[in-house]
Chain A
Amino acid sequence: MTLLAVERIKLFSTRSPWWCAALALVITTGIAALIAANTSAEFPLTVGLTQAFYSFGMYVVLVMAALAVTTEYRFGTIKATFLAVPNRVSALVAKTAVVAVMAGLIGEAVAFGQWGISKLIKPNADIAINSAVEWRNVAGVGLVFLVGSILALAVGILVRHTAAAVSILLVWALIVEQLIGIIPKIGEKIQRWMPFVNGNHFLTAGGPELQPDPIKYPFGAWGSLGYFAAVSVGLLIVALVVAKRRDA
Chain B
Amino acid sequence: MIEAVRLKKHYGRTIAVDDLSFTVCPGRVTGFLGPNGAGKSTTMRMILGLDRPNGGDVLIDGQHYASLKHPLRKVGALLDAKWVHPNRSAHSHLKWLARSNGLPTSRIGDVLEMVGLTAVAGKRAGGFSLGMSQRLGVAGALLGDPEILLFDEPVNGLDPEGILWIRQLMHRLADEGRTVFVSSHLLSEMSQTAQDLIVIGRGKLIAQTTTEQFIHDATEDRVRVRSPQADRLRELLAARATVIEDAVDHALVVHGLSAAEIGEMAAEQGVVLHELSPQRGSLEEAFMQLTSEAVDYHAHS
Contact = CB atoms under 8 A, between A and B. Distances in A.
Is this pair of chains taken from one and the same complex? yes
A130 B212 CA distance: 84
Interface string B31-61: 0000000000000010011111000000000
B87 A14 contact: yes
Contact of A84 (B71, B82, B88, B92): B71
B100 interface: yes
Contact of B86 (A9, A72, A75, A80): A75
B100 A84 contact: yes
B96 A248 contact: no
A85 B68 CA distance: 9
Given A80-B140, A247-B52, A15 B99 contact: no
A71 B88 CA distance: 12
Interface residues of B, number: 33
B291 interface: no
A10 B92 CA distance: 8
Nearest to A248: B50
Given A86-B68, A87-B66, A10 B96 contact: yes
B210 interface: no
Interface in B71-106: 71-72, 77, 79-80, 82-89, 92-93, 95-97, 99-102
Contacts of B68: 86
Interface string A227-248: 0000000000000000001111
Contacts of A71: 85
A13 interface: yes
Main secondary structure of the interface of A (DSSP, over half): helix
Nearest to B79: A79
B83 A5 contact: no
Interface in B144-195: none
Contacts of B66: 86-87
B75 to A, nearest CB: 8
A15 B49 CA distance: 31
Interface residues of A, number: 28
Nearest to B48: A83
Interface string B103-121: 0000000000000000000
Nearest to B49: A86
Given A9-B92, A13-B88, A79 B50 contact: yes
B98 to A, nearest CB: 9
14 contacts: A2-B102, A5-B99, A6-B96, A9-B92, A10-B88, A13-B92, A14-B85, A75-B83, A79-B80, A80-B97, A83-B50, A86-B49, A245-B52, A248-B50
Given A77-B85, A83-B71, 17 more contacts: A9-B95, A9-B96, A10-B85, A13-B89, A14-B88, A71-B85, A75-B83, A76-B80, A77-B83, A80-B97, A84-B71, A84-B97, A84-B101, A86-B68, A86-B71, A247-B51, A247-B52
Interface of A: 2-3, 5-6, 9-10, 13-16, 71-72, 75-77, 79-87, 245-248
